[in-house]
Structure 1
Amino acid sequence: MQLPYFMISLDDYMLPCLNKKLFGIECPGCGAQRAISFLLKGDFIDAFTMYPAIFTIIPLLGFLLVDSFFTIKYSNKIIITLMVSSVILILGNYILKFL
């Protein structure tokens, strides 16, 4: 199956991490763009390896979008659970990068 051109050349348009360029230290968001690129290519394992929180952030954004149009029972608990799990994964991944 042939991928569309914009998905193949997406890596050429990624923004560099300003924190890494200025201070030489990765920020907690480093790897998110590459993880999205891997997801669009269908490489889920590499996306998780690059930025594990991508698998909680995308459902969180999707749920927030749906919740803005429809009333969902227990939406606050779902949002808080997704947010807390995202923060734990982001901080855990950030700490593991330094070890």
Structure 2
Amino acid sequence: MENVLVLNEKDNVGNAIEDIVRNQAAIYSLAGKSYEIIAKEAIPFGFKIALKSINKGDSVIKYGEIIGIASKDITQGQLVHVHNLEGYRGRGDLNFKKRCCGT
């Protein structure tokens, strides 16, 4: 049974539609074909999993759109989140802190 949502053939990440534990199969389908990768770590419900290895500096693509840049190498099956993904427009929260608080 599928536990990862992938909507576009360009996607290199998918969304977990249930909690996935380390070493569990992450299963998704695309264009009528089923795929299976092994989770390298726990992937909580709603979080992203790398469908293939992504090199530092490469685009991270979800739903066919670039959602950010890999800030470090990401291996297939790894959790993709703020620790290894940076928005391609920068970290707006850091700029806000600098403007409002002088830090």
TM-score bucket of the superposed structures, by smaller chain: under 0.3
Structure with greater Cα Rg:
1
Using the size of structure 1 for normalisation, the TM-score is 0.27
Using the size of structure 2 for normalisation, the TM-score is 0.27
- Bigger helix share: 1
